Amino acid sequence: MRKLLTALLILVSLPCLAQETDPYLIYLKEAGWDMPLYRGRTAIRYNFSYNGTYFWDLGGFRRGDLCYAGKVYRDMEMNINAHLQRLLIRFPDSFSTVDLGNRDVAWFTLEGERFVNLRAKGLDVPEGFYRAVYEGQEAVYERIDKEFRRDINSSNDGEIGYRDPDYKEGIYEIFAQRRTWYFVDRNGQATRFKKQNVLLKAHPDRKRDVTRYLKEQGLDKADFATWCAAVMNYIEHGK
């Protein structure tokens, strides 16, 4: 009888021992279980073949800081579902991923890049996340959306908006990329734009000086993000 009782006690204690050594539970215990962001729903999985990616870029999960529901969390593993415009966060030492949505996310960083929920700041823009290209008295943001569609004529020559290193022939379901840009003026008015001259028209008295500066610095033919940042930096700081 005593041996049977001892065996039962060992069996009962095994789950407890397993829980105590689970790295995820240990992490949460050390964090004081004050981690409401980990209580979200499991991220959606796209269980079919497709080309491209529904993520913001091909870089995968990256580390950064996050402001969620008014609290800042440091050194989190995150990624952006650009198809649904939702922030994903990965458990430490795990492949499990939680969908944080976008409503309670104010901002986050990914390896130094800053992303902002402009809708949460009261701006009249579509829900989702915007990468900060320039932030000062005025600001420029970039937004990437991934549109899911079927296209029998698609190819990996950049037609979907980027090149996929894992492109598969014969697969016609794709996530096509669409970039949009937003200029936020000093009054907090957000304007979507596609052409560079929008920023120059917003500062007509500086247009000539800006144009000369860009040519002198060899930035007049820079990529769109670099060009926008250079223009705004010169307008606000003269350099």
pLDDT of residue 64: 96
Find the distance separating the first CA and the last CA of the chain, reported in whole Å. 85
Is the whole model's pTM more than 0.75, yes or no? Answer: yes
Measured distance CA(53)–CA(239) in Å, rounded: 38
Q: pLDDT 10s digit of each residue in the chain, 239 long?
A: 443 333 333 333 333 333 344 554 555 555 444 467 777 788 999 999 999 999 999 989 999 999 999 999 999 999 999 999 999 999 876 678 999 999 999 999 999 999 999 999 999 999 999 999 999 999 999 999 999 999 988 888 888 889 999 999 999 999 999 999 999 999 999 999 988 889 999 999 999 999 999 999 999 999 999 999 999 999 999 86
Measured distance CA(168)–CA(166) in Å, rounded: 6
CB-CB contact of 81 with 88 (8 Å): yes
Measured distance CA(143)–CA(177) in Å, rounded: 10
pLDDT of residue 96: 81
Q: How, if at all, do strands 86-90 and 130-135 pair?
A: unpaired
Which residues sit opposite 173 in a β-bridge?
A: 150
pLDDT of residue 68: 93
pLDDT of residue 29: 53
Which of 116, 138, 130 lies closest to 187, judged by CA? 138
pLDDT of residue 189: 94
233 φ/ψ sector (left φ>0, alpha ψ -120 to 50, else beta): alpha
